[in-house]
Amino acid sequence: MYSLVKEQLNQQEPKNRPRERMIRLGAQALSDQDLMALILGSGLQGRDVYSVANDVLKVLEQFPDLNVDQKSLNSIPGIGNARSSAVLASLEFARRRIRPAKKRIEYPRDVYPIIRHWADRPQEMFLVLSLNGAHEVLQVRVVSQGILDRTLVHPREVFIHPLSDRASAIICAHNHPSGSLTPSQDDKELTLRLEKAGELLGIPVLDHVIFTEEGFYSFHDQQESSLFTSENHISRPAIPIQLESH
């Protein structure tokens, strides 16, 4: 249970206000209630911001995975569409930036939810997912950003971080700002280059995913590469991404 603080933000001594304490001590020094009060910004007549923040936190406690819906937040007195949208936006922004630890990739479709928030970028973004031996995601990184609709990618940039991650495999992905999910000849040639580099380094490329806001294309699903059809990594016909044998 979060303690209910009755003071309004503007009644506190300046040095004790959440914003000033964050500047002085860092965000980690603030309580959950302080952080939520900062997101909300202000209270309303008859209810200070801490009271409203406390109610928001109580609702969030009912959703351990934080997949709270806007209707639940809007049921709180003092929370309308504007404030509930700010809370949901903050949660989604944090969710996208936090490493999706222990997210296991078994099929190409498991990749899309992790990367789809890059789909609306006006430039091509080339991403690399580092995976451990159980095909759990270790890190997701943008390794190259293109101009308009093309990006320049070199195997050196693709594998430098997976090597430091001690990754057992990687999955590559990039968005198509044009909205087309059809791989270009450049996409196919790049995939083959990365496969060969991965074989030399002992870090196989399990898939190359092209994605838009509407969906994705998987080289793995389409069997458009030599490595992906290897029995060491892929089984047919369901085409799951097989785990390494130990």
Give the largest Cα separation in the chain, rounded.
68
pLDDT, average across residues 187-202: 93
Domain CATH number, residue 177: 3.40.140.10
Stretch (H or E) spanning 207 = strand 205-211
Coil, strand, or helix at residue 40? helix
How many distinct structural domains can be found in the chain?
Answer: 2
Query: Cα separation of 154 and 143, whole Å?
Result: 9
Are 65 and 175 in a shared domain? Answer: no
Boundary residue ending a domain (34, 65, 97)? 97
Q: What angle do CA 213, 207, 149 make, to 5 degrees?
A: 45
Are 204 and 123 in a shared domain? Answer: yes
Are 139 and 225 in a shared domain? Answer: yes
Are 117 and 192 in a shared domain? Answer: yes
pLDDT in the model for residue 4: 38
Are 74 and 23 in a shared domain? Answer: yes
Are 190 and 215 in a shared domain? Answer: yes
Are 199 and 139 in a shared domain? Answer: yes
Boundary residue ending a domain (78, 97, 116)? 97
What angle do the packed helices 155-165 and 185-201 form, to 10 degrees? 40
Are 126 and 39 in a shared domain? Answer: no
pLDDT, average across residues 135-160: 83
pLDDT more than 70, % of the chain: 78
pLDDT, tens digit (0-9, with 9 covering 90-100), for 86-126:
999 998 888 777 655 568 898 889 999 999 888 888 889 99
pLDDT in the model for residue 151: 67
Please, which residues bridge with residue 217 across strands?
A: 210
Q: Does residue 158 sit within a domain?
A: yes
Question: Which two structure tokens, joined as six digits, stand for 115?
Answer: 């990367």
CA-based nearest residue to 170, from 123, 205, 121:
205
pLDDT in the model for residue 16: 66
| pLDDT bracket for residue 224 (50, 70, 90) | low
Query: Cα separation of 88 and 76, whole Å?
Result: 14
- The boundaries of the domain holding residue 175 are 108-229
Are 135 and 225 in a shared domain? Answer: yes
Q: What is the mean pLDDT of the chain?
A: 81
Query: Cα separation of 161 and 194, whole Å?
Result: 14
pLDDT, tens digit (0-9, with 9 covering 90-100), for 29-80:
888 888 999 998 877 777 788 888 889 998 988 876 678 999 999 999 888 8
Query: Would the pLDDT of 242 be above 60?
Result: no
* Residue that the structure tokens 């990749």 belong to: 111
Q: Does residue 119 sit within a domain?
A: yes
Q: Does residue 145 sit within a domain?
A: yes
Q: Does residue 4 sit within a domain?
A: no
